[in-house]
Every structure is written in structure tokens, then in C-alpha cells.
Structure 1
Amino acid sequence: MITVEQLKQLGWGTLQRYRKLNPYSKLFLWGTIALYISLAATLVIIGPDRIGQTLYNLAQKVSHYPLGWLILFLVFFVISFPPCVGHTTLITLCGYAYGMKGFPIAAAGSLFGSAFTFIVLRLLFSRRLRKWSESNEKWQALETVIATKGLPLIVLIRASPFPPWVYSNTLFASIQSVALWQFFLATFVVFPKIAIFVFVGSRLASLSDGEQRSHMDTTTKILNISISVGGVLVAALASWIIYRAMRKEILHLDGVPPEVDELAAEAIEEAEEGAPLLGPHRENSNRYDRSPA
């Protein structure tokens, strides 16, 4: 059970991390908070029933198109580029439209959309990547840690909820020691989570449609709601466990100095800026140097 002292430490640690953020990171954080507040307000004002019915109608319209699956597949390529968002929503929409038959669409779209993003970003920003790596100590540390651990750590970072999907694509494109085949294989680890959200979408579809809902008895409604909420909670719990394991792996890597581990962990946390590929270029004093004296 969490004690009051642990809560105080957590709050103080969060405040300290916030103070360390640069202005761009703070702006992103407050923008994200404002977005979620707006979404919550929209949900309350419009009502979940109307929103659910709108999503259901949209999904059904797409599913009745001859190439509706292709439309969803191509949208994955768009939302894989930062600063776009909506990966989980699009996965759920696949469940809305096709039930569990939407899993191949969501899985293939996620895999090939992220791989395409990886290739494009690395090709377009290769020169900036080299310049950034030479001047940013955190990225040097992260490259060293990933190069030391290899594919197992890449898999852990990919499965972690932080950084989010679109910024995870940017992060790996930024790390020169990550090969495309490693990124491709690591993306397979998110397939179970994709399957969960497709399943949740298939359950929510029946609850969102007023006509189907009117023919359900109370027991069926409760069962569908419980399954949907349970699926989201399982995915969230698994993501949190993986995130903790990822941080522990980075911070306690054998053969790497502790200060390097700390810098690598900070680089992961700052990945939402899109750095170094999309973030503002900032020169750093280089306290960490990988080259021998």
C-alpha cells in the first residue's frame, strides 16, 4: 500500500522533473493537458451516447466501402508521423468497423506505417542527426546504452507506453545504432496490445449503436462494459509494468557508468519533443564523451 511519505516523494519528484523541462517541453505538457481537458468537456457536453453513435456510424460507413480496409490501412501511415496523434483510437476504430477481423488491418498498418516513418525520417534528417549526436550528451548516452544492450532493450522501449507511439517512431529513427530490421522486429511486441484494443473496439461497437443496445438485456450490457473496461485496464497495467522494467534496465545496465544511464533515461523522457529530428536544435555542453582521452 502506498504511504503518505511515498506520495510526498512522488509529488516532489514530479515537480523536480517539471522544473528541469525546457520551455518547449513545458509548452507541450500544458498543451497536452489542455487537449485532454477539452476532450473531457466535449464528452460531457455532447454526451457519450451521441459520440459513440457517431463513431459507430463512421465505422460502419467505412466497412461498407469496397476498399474501406485500405483507407484505414493508409491512415496508419499518416498518424505514424509526428506530431500526429490517434494511433490507439484508429486501432479501436478497426474493431468498430470489422470486429476482430480488423486486427490484421491494425497490425499491418501499425507495422508498415511505423517502418515507413522510420525510413523517411532517417533519410531526411541524417545530417541533422549526426550534428545533434555530436552536441547532445543525452543522445550520446542513449546511443551507447542501446548499442550495449541491443535488441532486448529496443523491444522493451518499443513496448513501453512512454514515449507514445508516434514519438517512439521518431526516437528510434534518431538512434543510429538501431537498424531497420531491429525496429521492425521490435514493433511485433505491440501486437498483443493492438489485439486488445481491436477487441475492445468490437465490444464498444455493439454498445455504441442505439438499436443494438436497445435489444440487449442488462446482463449483456454489463458483460460488454466489464470486458471493455477490463481490456483497457489489462493493457494499461501491462504497459506500466513494461515501462518500469524498461527504466530499470536502462538505469542498471552492467558495464555502463551510472551517469550515462541517467542521461539515457532523460533522453527517453524528452522524446516527446521529437528531438533530435523534429525538435528545436540546441547546443549542449558535452559533459559526456564516448571517445577515449
Structure 2
Amino acid sequence: RTPSPTPSDIEEMNKPVIDWRMFDPRRWLHRKYLPYLILLGLILTLVILMSVYDKQIVKWMTPVSKKLKALPGGWAIPIGILFVISFPPLFGHEIIGILCGVIWGLWVGFGIVAAGTFLGEVGNYYAFKSICSSHGRKLEQNNLSYACLAHIVREGGFWIALVARFSAIPGHFTTAVFSTCGLGIILFSIAAILSLPKQLTVVYVGVLIEEAGNGTVSGREKLISDIVLVASVLITIVAAWWIYDQMAKAKPEVLRNRRRARARK
């Protein structure tokens, strides 16, 4: 017999899919959020500087790009960097993607970023699977959001994994969940490969910066880039909403399983 829900279980089940209180600016003024605010400030500053000084950036990057292109296997350098900054997941992936767009253009740059991203994710998968499996099990017992995501991945398999990869949920976090909740490397690899077009947007930003710096970008190209960026953002938001909705629907079952586990002790 399954024990009745506790008051905390009832409170958890009544929570909305998204806690809108997280968008309250006063909540983010707490000291524990200071590192995130600093990181956000750095990202916004970088974006503004790249928009304002695009011509200077391209001028500075021109000799560097020529040297990298001239190097035998120079394309392997950003692939290696993308792989290294995946252990542990570090900030800078987007910067490398933008630089690849500036130096190699859209399709070659995308191929480089896709290769580095995929190799980094596979490496992360095996790292989490071999080192963090026990930690993942403990996290699943103590963190309800993690437990719900792990539950829907086990139940939905590949399709849940694919949508999660397209969502705004950080890829390294989903990789940790996939590797510790039983998703096989083959299905994980297929989902990772199919979601690689997400990187195309980042590379395209670099292409636009290079064209803007050279004065070759047209109004039509600018319009297309804006549409692509907006569509990419909408896809990630919709995918994330659907994943969170599935997690909310799985919450009663996860809490029920927890009560059963406590009753058996």
C-alpha cells in the first residue's frame, strides 16, 4: 500500500510548471546569486562590445584567421579547445563558435563547432557515467527536478532526449542526466547529432560580425539573420516548456515512488 501524500508532497504537486517568482528582480539580489549576476553582466558586456566594435574585431582577427587557415590542420585547434572546455563545462563555447564563423565562414565553421561540441558531449557522457553515477543516484533521491527529468527520460527514451537537447536546458546538465539514468550511448549520440543545428545560429553570428566589419552585409541578410535568431530562441523556449510540462506531469509518480521507498525502509 502506498502511503498518503505528505503536506510537502501536496505543496510540490500544486506548484506551477514555471515558478514565476524567479523573475522577481528582488529575488536575484541575494548574495548567493552574485556569481550568476556577474556572469550575466560579462556576457551582456561582451555582446554589446562585439556589436559596437565589430569592424575593429574583424580587423584584429584577420591576421589570426589567415594564420589558422594556413596551418595544416588548423581547424583542429578550435575542436580541441571545445573538447577541453567541456571538462568541466566552462564558459566560452559560444565565443569559440562565433570566432569560427568569423574565421572559417558559415558551413566550415559550423562543421568545426559541431565536431568539437559532439566530441565534448560524448566525453562528458562517459565522464559522468564512470565518475558521477553514484552522485547521480543521490541527486535523484534529493533533488525533485532532477528526479522528474530522469523519470521522463527513462519513460520517453530517445524522443525526450532529443527535445531536451533542443531546449533551453543547458546541454551539459542534460548530458549528466542522460548518462546516469540509463540512456545508451547510441541513442545519446543520435540525439546529440540531430540537435547540432542549434550551433548554426552561434556560427552565423560570427559570419554576420565578419560581414558587418567588411561592410558586405545587406539588408536582406540582416532580415534573414534576425528571423533565424528569433526562430531559434522560440524553438528552445517551446522545447523547454514542453520538457518542464512533462516533468510536472511526472511529479506525482516520482513522489509516489519516493513514499513507497521510504515505507520499505
TM-score (norm 2): 0.74
Q: 2:21 aligns with which of 13, 19, 35?
A: 13
Cα deviation, residue 69, structure 1: 0.8
Counterparts in 2 of 1:289 and 1:81: CA distance versus 1, 3 Å: farther
Given the superposition, is the C-alpha separation of residues 129 and 159 from structure 1 closer, same or farther in structure 2, using an over 3 Å criterion? same
Correspondence for 1:154: 161
Unaligned ranges ≥5, structure 2: 1-17
C-alpha deviations, 1:28-77, integer Å up to 9, x for none?
A: 43233332354357558x73332343345433432222111111111120
Mapped pair 1:139 → 2:158 = no
Distance 1:43 1:204 in 2: 8
Q: How far apart, CA to CA, are the structure 2 residues paired with 1:40 and 1:105?
A: 22
Tell whether 2:66 aligns with 1:69: no
1:33 corresponds in structure 2 to: 40
- Please say if residues 94 and 106 of structure 1, whose CA atoms lie closer than 8 Å, have aligned partners that are also in contact: yes
d(CA) in 1 for partners of 2:99, 2:50: 17
2:148–2:247 contact (8 Å) kept in structure 1 = no
Cα–Cα, structure 1 residues 23 and 141, in superposed 2: closer, same or farther, change >3 Å? farther
Q: How does 1:205-244 map to 2 (within 5 A)?
A: 205-209=210-214, 213=215, 216=216, 220-244=217-241
Distance 1:19 1:199 in 2: 35
Map of 2:185 onto structure 1: 180
The answer as to whether partners of 1:79 and 1:166 remain within 8 angstroms in 2 is: no
Q: Name the SS for the 2:169 alignment partner.
A: coil
Please report how far the alpha carbon of residue 125 of structure 1 lies from its aligned counterpart in structure 2 after TM superposition.
Answer: 2.5
Distance 1:137 1:162, change over 3 A: closer
Seen in structure 2, the aligned counterparts of structure 1 residues 17 and 81 have a Cα distance that, compared at 3 Å, is: farther
Q: In structure 1, give the amino acid aligned to 2:222.
A: I
The answer for the alignment partner of 2:203 in structure 1 is: 198
TM-aligned CA distance change 1:290 to 1:196, over 3 Å: farther
Residue aligned with 2:183, SS: coil
**Equivalent residue in structure 2 for 1:127, among 121, 124, 134:** 134
Tell which deviates more after alignment, 229-238 or 132-141.
Answer: 132-141
2:10 counterpart residue number: none
Alpha-carbon deviations, 1:175-230, whole Å to 9, x = none? 32222222211112322222343344334323224xxx2xx4xxx53334333333
- Establish whether residue 110 from structure 1 lines up as the match of residue 117 from structure 2: yes
| Helix, strand or coil at the partner of 1:95 | helix
Q: Is the 8 A contact 1:96 1:204 kept in 2?
A: yes
**Alignment-mate amino acid for residue 228 of structure 2:** G
Identity within the alignment, %: 23
Q: Which amino acid aligns with 2:84?
A: V
Contact 2:146/2:177, CA 8 A, preserved across alignment: no
Deviates further, 147-156 or 192-201: 192-201
Q: Distance in 2 between matches of 1:18 and 1:187?
A: 37
Match of 2:96 among 90, 99, 103: 90
Q: Secondary structure at the match of 2:218?
A: helix
Q: Give 2:258's aligned residue.
A: 288
Counterparts of residues 268-287 of structure 1 (less than 5 Å): none
Conserved in 2, the CA contact under 8 Å of 1:59 and 1:97?
A: yes
Aligned length: 245
Deviation at 1:115, TM superposition (A): 0.4
Give the counterpart of 2:245 among 245, 248, 253: 248
* Partner deviation per Cα, 1:129-148 (whole Å, 9 max, x = no partner): 34434444443333222212
Distance 2:26 2:166 in 1: 24
- What is the root-mean-square deviation in Å for CA atoms of aligned residues? 3.6
Match runs of 1:35-54 below 5 Å? 35-39=42-46, 42=49, 47-54=53-60
Match of 1:79 in 2: 85
